[in-house]
Amino acid sequence: MSKLVRDKIVSIIAKNTGETPAYHVEKNYENQLHLLYDKLKEEAQEVSECDKDDLALIYELADVYEVILSILNHKGYELRDLVEASDVKRSVRGSFTQFHVLDDIKK
């Protein structure tokens, strides 16, 4: 069941259940990055499965956002770097607001 959890989760489990969670602190950079990518997939899946309740959706998206911030920090970037890259891509390639669906490319 090894998975990355938020920093305070281990102590919350111990306090609320009286149980002693088994955990370790990962020190290896590549393993940390792998854990963050796995967590991003997990959180994105939870967003897609969300029951569309607005508050639940916001909280699930907040988890995705937190993982993205951690990946940025881990790679030495800041949020503004992501925003700038997003602005450039939106300017050149557009956004996802018109819902164009590419079905095929005919030769």
N residues, the chain: 107
pTM for the full predicted model? 0.89
- What's the average model confidence in pLDDT over 17-45? 96
Nearest to 70 by CA among 95, 24, 34: 34
Would you place residue 51 in the very low, low, confident or very high pLDDT band (cuts 50, 70, 90)? confident
pLDDT at residue number 54? 84
Cα angle 67, 71, 75; round to 5: 170
pLDDT at 81 over 80: yes
- What's the average model confidence in pLDDT over 7-23? 94
Mapping DSSP onto H, E and C, the string for the chain reads CCCCCCCCHHHHHHHHHCCCCCCCCCCCHHHHHHHHHHHHHHHHHHHHHCCCCHHHHHHHHHHHHHHHHHHHHHCCCCHHHHHHHHHHHHHHHCCCCCCCCCCCCCC
The gap between the terminal CA atoms of the chain, to the nearest Å, is: 48
- What's the average model confidence in pLDDT over 66-74? 98
Provide the mean pLDDT of the chain. 95
> Could you read off the pLDDT of 87-103 as tens digits, one per residue?
999 999 999 999 999 99
pLDDT at 52 over 80: no
pLDDT at residue number 32? 97
